[in-house]
Structure formats: C-alpha cells, structure tokens
Structure 1
C-alpha cells in the first residue's frame, strides 16, 4: 500500500504531465513546456524538479510509462483466449499504440529520445515496454531466450511505431498490417533457428555456443541492470 507521501507525489506527477501535454504540440518536450506545466498547475519549480529532476525528458519518459500502464490494464480485461501467441503479441503492441491519446506527443518524444544525450533513455524505455509485454503474457524464459525475445520485439515495436507515426489510413489498418508482417518475419527466423539447432550435422559445432548461451540468465532482481547476469539464478 502506498504511503500518503507517495500518493501525493504521484498526484503531482500526473498533474504536471497532464498540463505539459497541452504544450507539447507547440513546444515539444522542452524546458518551455516544463516551466509552463509548473505555471499551469501552480506547482513550485523546486518541487517539480524533485519529481522530474531532468525536467522535460523525465516528463516524456513518464508519458511513455503511462502508456505502458494503460496497455497492461487493457491486457487484463481483454479476452485473448484462443489466440495464437504471435497474435497476442500483436494485440499487445496494438493496445500500446491505441493507448496514445496524442500522436504528436509521441512524435516529439521519439525525436528527443533519439538525440545522443538521451538515446540510452530511449532504448531503456523501449526495452521496458517489450519486457512489460512479455511479462504480461506470461513469459517464463530463464536463459538467453529472455534477451533474444525482447531484442526481437524491440525491433518490431520500434519499426511499427515509426510506421504508425506516418500512417493516415483508416483506424491505422496499414500499421496493423505492417505489424503482422514484421512478426511473421521474426517467426520465420525462429523457425530457421530451430531447424539449425535440430540439425544433427551441426550439433558438434553448436555445443560450445549452446553451453555458453545456457549460462546467461535474466536479471535476478529489479535493481539489476541490463544486459543481465552470467550467474545462474538460485
């Protein structure tokens, strides 16, 4: 259960973010937007810096995190029974993009988070989204597949977002078609990988790499940083 202080902090964050979104289409995720949000909400700038230390970039990341949370909420209520797993993945990405209420805010955020000084933040945000998807769908990978699944989906998600930003088709049908094709590409690669692994002629050559891959484990706790650990989880 959250403390009263934590709830107050969350309310301050939400108020600043909501106010900032009114200015992002004009000023982007900038210091001008951050200062305007403080003025609109009446939140003292010192307090605002306490919850968003880096100002605009932290506001943009908070907006991204809000979208992830909305996606998870929808995944909990939607009935995905009977869908193939690849279709569940496609649905999750679609839900994530449909959670966006302002495409311009995403466009401005994408532009900012590709700048060299924020590229690491952008990569972590995308990784966080795809990790949230896999976790919500029940992924229990305990080896290198934990990483390869997220790396593959990161590429699919990033490409789909960029396509979606320029898509003006009815209800973004072109984007969903693009998404399905990208997932099909990944599935074809996974099928090829399984064929290679199952080839008896190649097993002697794959023994070493497979042993090494088996030693790679996912992060053991939330505080662990990527890319993870070579130590087995106990």
Structure 2
C-alpha cells in the first residue's frame, strides 16, 4: 500500500505527464517539454525534478507504463474464453496499441529510447509490457520458458509497433495482419522445437542442455518487509 506522500507524487507525475503530452508532438520528449509541463500545471521545476530526476525521459517511461496498465485492465475485463492462446496473445498486443491516444508520442518516445544512453530503458519498458501480458494471461512458467516466452514476444511486439507507427490502413488492419504473421512465425518455430525434442535419435544429445535449462528459474520479487513469510510475485 502506498503512503500519502507516494500517492501525492504519483498524482503530480500524472499531471505533468498529461501536460507534457500536449507539447510532445512539437518538441518531443525533451527538456523544453518538461519545463513547459511544469509551467502548465504550476509545479516548481525543482519539485518536478525530485519526482522525475531525468525529466522528460521519466515522463516518457511513465507514459509507456500507463499504456501497459490500460492494456492489463482491458485484458482482465474482456471475455477471451474460447480463443486460442495465440489469439489471446494477439489480442493483448492489439489492446496495448489501442491504448495509445497519441501515436506521435509513441513515435517520439521510440526515437528517444533507441538512443544509446536510453536503450536500456527502452528494453526494460518492452520487457515490462510482455511480462505484463504473460502474467495477465496466467503464465505459470517456472523454468527457462519464462525467459524464452518473453524474449519471443518482445521481438513480436517490437516489430509490430514499428510497423504500426507507419501504418495508415483503415483501423490499422494491416498492422493486425502483420501481427498475426509474426505470431504464426513464432508458433512454427515452437512446433519445430517440439519435434526436435521428441526425436528419439536426438534425446541423448539433448539430455545435458535440457538438464541445464531446467536449472534456470525466473526471478523472484523481493519481499515487502524484513521477516515477511510470503514473497510477492
């Protein structure tokens, strides 16, 4: 549970983000945008920098996180019963992109987060998105598959976003067709991997790698308080 101070900081960051989005199409996620947002919502720059130490970079990441939250909210509210799992994945990515209310803000953010100094932030943001998708869809992987699922979906998500940014087809139908093809590619690879694993001639050669893969476990979240008996996932 957040403290009153943390809730106040979140509210201020949200207000700054809303104000910044009005300037991003013209100035990008820049210092000029950050200072303009501070002025628009009458927040002292020093206080704003305490909440967002890297200024507009932190606001861009907050915008990405807001989209993730909207996607998860929609995923949990939609009835996906009866859909194939690959279609649930496709729906999740579509929900994520449909949560965007300003494509130019995403385009500007993508440009910024590909710069060398922010590439790590961009990779973590994408990983956070795909982890949110797998978690919302009930992924229970407890081995190396936890990583491979997210790595594969990261590639699909990234490619789809880049295609979507340049897509001007009605209702972005070309993007959804592109997404389906990328997921089909992943499914074909998974089927090939399953056939290799099932091949009796290859089992002796795969025993060692399979054993090593079984030792890989997903990360565990830290407990909230010292002495807590139940770790958070």
Q: TM-score, normalised by structure 2?
A: 0.94
Partner of 1:42: 42
Tell me the distance in 2 between the aligned counterparts of 1:70 and 1:87. 19
Which 4+ runs in 1 deviate beyond 4 A? none
Partner of 2:180: 180
Partner of 1:155: 155
SS of residue paired to 1:218:
coil
Partner of 1:216: 216
Give the gaps of 5 or more residues in structure 2. 224-233
**Which shifted more, 43-52 or 89-98?**
43-52
Shift of 1:10: 1.1
Are residue 191 (structure 1) and residue 227 (structure 2) matched?
no
SS of residue paired to 1:80:
coil
Partner of 1:9: 9
Residues 41-99 of structure 1, C-alpha deviations (whole Å, 9 max, x = no match)? 10011110111110011110000000000001101111101000000000000000000
Tell me the distance in 2 between the aligned counterparts of 1:77 and 1:210. 38
Partner of 1:99: 99
Shift of 1:3: 2.3
Partner of 2:90: 90
Shift of 1:2: 2.9
Q: TM-score, normalised by structure 1?
A: 0.94
Are residue 18 (structure 1) and residue 23 (structure 2) matched?
no
Tell me the distance in 1 between the aligned counterparts of 2:130 and 2:220. 18
> What RMSD over aligned residues (CA atoms) do the two structures have, in Å?
0.9
SS of residue paired to 1:71:
helix
Shift of 1:222: 5.1
SS of residue paired to 2:187:
helix
SS of residue paired to 1:5:
helix
Shift of 1:199: 0.2
Partner of 2:166: 166
Give the gaps of 5 or more residues in structure 1. 224-234
Partner of 1:74: 74
Residues 101-120 of structure 1, C-alpha deviations (whole Å, 9 max, x = no match)? 00000000000000000000
Shift of 1:221: 1.4
Aligned residue pairs, count: 223
Tell me the distance in 1 between the aligned counterparts of 2:82 and 2:5. 43
Residues 1-58 of structure 1, C-alpha deviations (whole Å, 9 max, x = no match)? 4322122111101100000000000000000000000010100111101111100111
